[in-house]
Structure 1
Amino acid sequence: MKKNILITLFSVPLLLASEPSGKEVFEKYCWGCHHQHSEAFGPSFSEIASKRTNEEIQAYILDPESMYKAFGYKRTVMTKLKLTDKERESITEYILSYKGK
């Protein structure tokens, strides 16, 4: 019984620590095309945050090919990223943190 409690106590912090921050997701998947304040290949996070809601950003991440016309773009070159729900939520929060900057 004590062994199970100890395993549980040590496992919980490991599970929590494995969830990526928005900055980590950005550095892994987004930095090649997006920067925080300046336009790169894609729009900056501050531009995206000033125009889009949480739901719109997540929808675009989930399926950019079906969303680009709704956003007023002539085409999209953004690839469909295979992010977990938590990664998608983290990067969306990170993008929105640049609203008004």
Structure 2
Amino acid sequence: MCKMFAGQDPTRYEQVTRRLRLNGQSTSIRLERTFWGILDELADSQGMTTPVFMSKLHSEVLELHGEPKNFASLLRCCCLVYLENNSMNSDQLIAAE
């Protein structure tokens, strides 16, 4: 089983830094390449660019909970929620057939 995980292409977990503006503040965020791909897909599914999506997310988190302690971790968890929701929706479609 571990070979499936250990044998993956190292570029998937390579760290990539992107510079962007979050609510007018210039910042850089470093995430694994795979998470950037998921965030790009997630933003696109919302009809936004990734920087616009992340800025909107940051604003909403500030409003609900205050400044996030680790925004990069929040982004990774957003990716997991997105994948989980897509998986549940796929399962429901299969069950309906």
In terms of fraction of residues, the more helix-rich structure is 2
Relative CO higher for 1 or 2, CA cutoff 8 Å, sep ≥ 6? 1
Q: Hey, which of these two has a bigger chunk of strand by percent?
A: 2
Q: Which has the larger radius of gyration?
A: 1
TM (norm. structure 2) is: 0.28
With normalisation by structure 1, the TM-score equals 0.27
